[in-house]
Amino acid sequence: MTTIISPASILGSQAPRLTSLPPLSLYVHIPWCMKKCPYCDFNSHEVRDQSGGMPEAEYVAALIRDLEAALPQIWGRKVISVFFGGGTPSLFSAQSIDAILAAVRALLPLELFAEVTMEANPGTFEAKKFADFHAAGINRLSIGIQSFNPRHLKSLGRIHDDNDARRAIEIARKNFDNVNLDLMYGLPGQTLDEARNDIETAVACDVAHISAYHLTLEPNTLFYRYPPALPDDDLTAEMQIMIEQALAQAGYTNYETSAFARPGRESRHNMNYWLFGDYLGIGAGAHSKISFLDKILRQMRYKHPGEYLEKAALSTPDSGPPVMEQHEVGRKDRGFEFMMNALRLTEGFATEMFVERTGLPISSIQRQLDEAERRQLITRDHQRIKPTLTGRRFLNDLLQIFLPEKSKA
């Protein structure tokens, strides 16, 4: 049964209204992977855990039915980007991806030259398959490299080795001119030189975008239950500074906490997240944020693939999509949720965007802004608010200032 929290219980009689709706993106979740990594807390399921493997055709039909059922919530709104995430979306055939994108184009006004990204792992690369992905409409590829070091790949439970990684990048660059490499640092037993070698190898690949994430131990993962020996905070801070400097020297702009891009190659899909834009998520466990003039909804689809398939089969535009949980973002939470995203951006955000995306006046967070500025965590004028270098280094401390009072207890 869908859990719905009453709007009145959250917003009361003073619900803030939006004067316009933000840009809309589409997220498509494909939950299967060859092997569950010990650090991964995403909704992903090993193929070998499924009797009969992946129900690929059935899942594609469910995604299309999910999208059809969700149309009344986003009717007439243009979609600026599409993102296939997982799991490992590249396990699906190019024909399946083509079918999904054909349905998207038929049902939604997809913006001309919209960014269409697919996540892929090096262990799933085949030259012909990725040429066909490009022909289907994928124009940006995000490859989960994580490291070029065989020892670290093994400790991370990856199914590929360093040679697979290099071959995957070679195939990707032959088929796509917009490629992102995902790397991680702060890995078990990693030295500063090893982290530097990973970054220098990535730079030598001359791709459009590099993401460098600090490994964190997330609940409900194997690493959380059996923590490996990780570099200490001082060493990981050195790694972060080294990464920022090396990529800046190579011509990449650090536009978001973990994201580095060649000029003009910032991820449009992710930028929409950071600027509190809307996104419709379809697929098992996918999350959505949908704005209306009088409310902002957050939703989550049914998580387990089997249950999702059952619920999606019954979904219609009248009954609605296969939503497991839904709630409205209340007045007290809108400011924090906006800041939690936008303060990840190196250049921060235009003040008017806060008003436009939350429906709140900037004065609603005046006390918190004053405190953040007093602690030299942000700079601001009448037009823009942005984190200082200190604010970026201590982002959690900065965000803590904007937590709603009830959340600080």
pLDDT for the residue 12:
42
At residue 360, φ and ψ (nearest 5 deg) are -105, 150
Average pLDDT taken over every residue of the chain: 92
CATH fold group of domain 332-403: Arc Repressor Mutant, subunit A (1.10.10)
Burial 318-341 (b: 16+ CB within 10 A, else e): eeebbbbebbbbbbebbbbbbbbb
Q: For 386-405, what is the mean pLDDT?
A: 95
For the stretch 31-46, pLDDT in tens is 998 888 887 878 888 8
More confident residue, 256 or 47: 256
Quick check: 151 pLDDT over 70?
Answer: yes
Q: What is the CATH architecture assignment of 9-273?
A: 2-Layer Sandwich (3.30)
Distances (CA, A) of 285 to 28, 29, 340, 375: 10, 8, 22, 39
Selection from 141, 139, 158 nearest residue 149 by Cα: 158
At residue 404, φ and ψ (nearest 5 deg) are -60, 150
Q: Residue 132 class from Cβ within 10 Å (0-12 exposed, 13-18 middle, 19+ buried)?
A: middle
pLDDT for the residue 5:
43
Q: How far apart are CA 168 and CA 373, in angstroms?
A: 45
Strand partners, 213: 184
Contacts of 313 (CB under 8 A, 6+ apart): 62, 65
For the stretch 121-148, pLDDT in tens is 988 788 889 999 999 999 999 999 999 9
User: Rounded to two decimals, what is the model's pTM?
Assistant: 0.92
Burial 291-313 (b: 16+ CB within 10 A, else e): beeebbbbbbbbbebeebbebbe
Q: For 8-13, what is the mean pLDDT?
A: 40
Quick check: 92 pLDDT over 50?
Answer: yes
For the stretch 222-236, pLDDT in tens is 888 888 889 999 999
Quickly list DSSP for 165-214. Answer: HHHHHHHHHHH-S-EEEEEEES-TT--HHHHHHHHHHHHHTT-SEEEEEE
pLDDT for the residue 407:
52
Strand partners, 119: 142
Q: For 326-338, what is the mean pLDDT?
A: 95
Neighbours of 220 (CB within 10 A): 8
Quick check: 314 pLDDT over 90?
Answer: yes
Selection from 405, 341, 331 nearest residue 368 by Cα: 405
Q: Which residue has the tokens 């080294």?
A: 242
Query: By mean pLDDT, which of 51-55, 137-141, 382-386 is the weakest?
Result: 51-55
Q: Which residue intervals of the chain bear CATH 1.10.10.920? A: 332-403
At residue 371, φ and ψ (nearest 5 deg) are -65, -45
Q: Is 137 left (phi over 0), alpha (psi -120 to 50) or beta?
A: left
Q: How far apart are CA 306 and CA 313, in angstroms?
A: 11
Report the relative pairing of strands 349-350 and 384-387 from DSSP bridges.
antiparallel
For the stretch 169-209, pLDDT in tens is 999 999 999 999 999 999 999 999 999 999 999 999 999 99
pLDDT for the residue 223:
82
Q: How far apart are CA 340 and CA 129, in angstroms?
A: 38
Q: How far apart are CA 54 and CA 322, in angstroms?
A: 20
Q: Which residue intervals of the chain bear CATH 3.30.750.200? A: 9-273
DSSP, collapsed to helix, strand or coil, labels residue 93 as: coil
Selection from 83, 88, 220 nearest residue 159 by Cα: 88
Structure tokens at 128: 């012909």
pLDDT for the residue 14:
63
pLDDT for the residue 46:
82
Quick check: 103 pLDDT over 60?
Answer: yes
